[in-house]
Structure formats: structure tokens, C-alpha cells
Amino acid sequence: MAESPLVDTSLAAAAELVDASSSLSQIPLFSRLDDQERHLLVACMKRRRFEANETIFWVGDRGDRLFLIITGRVAVTAPNEEGEHVPIATLGPGELFGEISLLDGGARTATVRAAETVEAYTLNQADFHSFIVRNPSAALDILAVMGARQRASTEALRHIKNPNLEIHQQLTPWQRASDTIATIAAGQWFTLFHLTWFGLWIGINLGAQVGLLPAAIGFDPFPFGLLTMVVSLEAIFLSIFVMVSQNRQAERDRVRADLDYQVNVKAHTEILSLGQRLDRLEAAGRGPSAPG
């Protein structure tokens, strides 16, 4: 006897719930929940469908729910300095997004669009809070995970080094010598030394040549060929040291520019979020127009 379509549909739905529960076990935030707690959490979720290219939420929107993808893929993007959306990640079946905003209700930090038709389970804050009230042990499990992640983040921050300092520590002896010589050559004492040296060299040899000094001490008569050769060799080596040092400075500037870009992108995102919040406050303040 053939099974009824209703039975087939029920079995399919049950299988999807099992798959969703299994997916939750792979997510760090819910990894400590037991099977029963995960099944109860999935039961609080609602199924939603998003068409291809549909925006699920915008950066800066208030976060009030998480999404667990059943089928399809979504594209995660964030705006850059020019306001263009830069791809960050592509998420597929079994992956979760929006969980941080579920906890703190803060603004979304990225824009998510459906790259194709997407079926997803959603869990809003109200249902999540009800789940926590009914299952306090699950709250302790989630807090334990968050505490471990905070501890790991703090430990990672302790080992973060200034990138410019790290670059300096990786210098070879040749690069260190080039930086030192270039720094010395740019100082005022280097210039004063050369003025004194050239002045004495030219004065002694000219004096010996015209008879003001004993001729025996004149070792480089005009036009001072030896001095010209020494200065030329010094200029060649100094230019090499300066170019090596400039390459190091260019590397440091590149690292600094990369850090500035990341900070600017973050600031741009925060400004967009603040602008959207102000727009919502303004719209709420105006309220519906009064009848004439």
C-alpha cells in the first residue's frame, strides 16, 4: 500500500529539522547544546524563502534574528570608502549568519543578498529569549561558549604586534646598516663634517700649490682629482644605501596605508549605520500625518 503524500511531506519536514539540528551542532555558539536543546531551538525557528537577488538585510539595519540556510547561497558584502559593496563571503546550506545581532540587537555589520533562491530557518529575539527562559541550562552553555571566545580574543590581542615593529625586527643586517647610514647622512653633523673635510682638503692643497704652505704637504693639486674620485665613490655608495632605506620606508608606508584603509572602511560602515538610525528616529518623530 502506497504511503500518502501527507506522510511523505511529514517525513521530509522531520528530516529537514534533523539536518537543521545537526547544522546547529557545527556552529560554535550552539556547539555545547545537547540534542534535545538543539531540537527545541530548531522548533522555535520559522521557515522563510528569499528569491534570487533579494536583499535579506542591509548593513546598519537593526539585527533581530539569525538565519540558518537550508538550500541556496547568499552573498555577504560590506561597503568600502567609495560606497561600493565589496564581497566578503558566500554562505551555503548548513551555514548560519546574523547570530551576533540576535544576542545584542545591534546594527548589522554587512549586507546579505540571496545569490539564488534561498530557503532558510529564521530565529527572532523574542523566540530565542523564550527558549532561554524555558531552558536555562542552554543559556549557561551559550555563556560558556561566549566566555571561551572572549578569552581567546583577549589572548590573541595580547600577542598582536605593531606591524611596523615586526617589519623592523625582520630586517637583515644589510637593511639595518642601510637604514643607519641613510639616517646619519640626513643629519646636520654629516653635512658639517663634509664642509670641514672639503674645506681643509682644498685649503691645504691650494696653499701648498701657491706657496703659502710647504709644497711637501700638497698631495692633491688643483683640480683635485683624488678628491673628485673619493666624493664620486662616496656618492655611489650613499645612493645605494638611501635607495635600500627608501624601499624599507615604502614597505612601512604600505602597511600603514592598509591599516588606515581598514579603519576607514569600519568608520564608513559605522557612519552609514548612524545615518540610517537617525533616519528611522526622524521618521518615528514625525509619525503619521494628522487628518486635515
What angle do helix axes 5-25 and 35-43 make, rounded to 10 degrees?
120
High-pLDDT (> 90) share of the chain, %: 4
Q: How confident is the model at residue 7 (pLDDT cuts 50, 70, 90)?
A: very low
Its pTM stands at 0.46
The more confidently predicted of residues 270 and 178 is 178
Query: For 194-250, how does the pLDDT look when each residue is reduced to its tens digit (9 = 90+)?
Result: 889 888 888 888 888 888 888 788 888 888 888 888 888 888 888 888 888 788 777
Query: For 242-280, how does the pLDDT look when each residue is reduced to its tens digit (9 = 90+)?
Result: 888 788 777 777 767 776 776 676 666 667 666 666 666
**CA dist., res. 179 & res. 137, Å (int):** 60
Count of CA atoms in the C-beta half-sphere (13 A) of 94: 6
- CATH T-level topology, domain 7-158: Jelly Rolls (2.60.120)
**CA dist., res. 254 & res. 263, Å (int):** 14
Q: Where are the domains positioned within the chain?
A: 7-158, 163-286
